[in-house]
């Protein structure tokens, strides 16, 4: 009876041995039970955590970066160093003054006489270009370094520069400022600078067209023409610069 029972139980025993081999857990590798150096504690034992986040950029720095890329274009941003654009103005064929209400043009000397009250004038004013560029939705950041450099080169090129008597230059600047603020210009300023603005009209228009070509559209040309119209400049006069080309 005993042997009969053993004989019947043997297949069951063999099956259990086979199952034990099938479902046995693999032996741990050497050192697998050691805690990972970056593992957490408690339920996180043995779980590798992600690398720590990089050090956050200070809020003040982020604000400055955003402000720089989104701020409106300013006139000063478009001008090169004063010495640079003054040298460019000295390359203009003629320099200008108004004597007793009459425009006076003389050849620009190789070197300006010390103490002379002449300013280096941007014919297309930097303030006009700046407002037009901003009005078209552009910022220093959106334009990019290459376009920004091209715009500054056009604005500060000798073709857009001239040596101009200080009082005339100041009056011209006030006319532009008034026009950009939708205000009528001072008649005295118009009387003083109108002849000069007429004489250099085509040069300013050419500079405006070049900048528009860089940024797309015609915002700068439109605004420049509007300023000229407010100063009563409607008739184009061929400039002395074109006579030399």
DSSP class per residue in 22-65? HSPPPPPPTTTTSPPTTB-SGGGTTPBPPPPPPPPPPHHHHHHH
Angle 140-155/201-215 helices, nearest 10 degrees?
150
Cβ atoms 156, 84 nearer than 8 A: yes
Report if residue 24 sits inside a domain: no
Which residues constitute the domain of residue 100? 80-233
Report yes or no on 134 lying in a domain: yes
The answer to whether 134 touches 73, Cβ cutoff 8 Å, is yes
Does residue 106 form part of some domain? yes
For residues 89 and 111, the answer to whether their CB atoms sit within 8 Å is no
Q: What total number of domains does the chain contain?
A: 1
What number of CA atoms fall less than 13 Å from residue 38's CA on the CB side? 5
pLDDT (tens digit, 0 to 9) for every residue of the chain, 245 residues total? 555 555 556 665 565 555 555 545 555 555 544 444 444 444 444 555 556 566 666 655 544 454 454 578 999 999 999 999 999 999 999 999 999 989 999 999 999 888 789 999 999 999 999 999 999 999 989 999 999 999 999 999 999 999 999 999 999 999 999 999 999 999 999 999 999 999 999 999 999 999 999 999 999 999 999 999 999 987 544 444 444 44
User: In this structure, is residue 25 part of a structural domain?
Assistant: no
**Is 4 within a domain?**
no
Q: Can you tell me whether residue 94 is helix, strand or coil?
A: strand
Q: Residue 64 domain-assigned?
A: no
Evaluate whether residue 146 is within a structural domain: yes
Spatial distance between the Cα atoms of 97 and 99, rounded to a whole number of angstroms = 6
Q: What is the pLDDT of residue 215?
A: 97
* DSSP code of residue 111: S
| 50 located within any domain | no
φ, ψ of residue 102 to 5 degrees: the values are -115, 135
Sign of CA dihedral 105, 101, 160, 242: negative
């Amino acid at each position: 009876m005993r042997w009969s029972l053993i004989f019947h139980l043997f297949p069951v025993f063999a099956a259990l041995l086979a199952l034990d081999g099938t479902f046995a857990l693999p032996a741990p590798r050497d050192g697998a039970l050691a805690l990972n150096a970056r593992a957490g504690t408690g339920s996180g034992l043995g779980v590798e955590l992600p690398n720590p986040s990089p050090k956050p950029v200070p809020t003040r720095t982020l604000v400055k970066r955003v402000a720089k890329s989104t701020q409106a274009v300013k006139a000063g941003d478009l001008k090169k160093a004063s010495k640079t654009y003054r040298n460019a103005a000295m390359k203009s064929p003629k320099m200008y003054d108004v004597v007793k209400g009459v425009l006076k043009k003389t050849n620009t000397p190789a070197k300006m006489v010390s103490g002379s009250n002449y300013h280096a004038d941007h014919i297309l004013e930097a303030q006009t270009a700046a407002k037009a560029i901003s009005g078209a939705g552009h910022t220093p950041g959106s334009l990019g370094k290459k376009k920004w450099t091209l715009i500054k080169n056009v604005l500060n090129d000798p073709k857009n520069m001239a040596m101009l008597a200080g009082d005339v230059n100041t009056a011209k600047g006030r006319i532009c400022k008034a026009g950009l603020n939708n205000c009528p210009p001072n008649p005295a300023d118009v009387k003083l600078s109108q002849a000069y603005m007429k004489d250099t009209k085509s040069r300013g228009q050419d500079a405006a067209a070049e900048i528009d070509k860089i940024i797309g559209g015609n915002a700068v040309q439109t605004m420049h023409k509007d300023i000229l119209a407010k100063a009563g400049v409607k008739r184009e006069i061929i400039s002395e610069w074109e006579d030399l080309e």
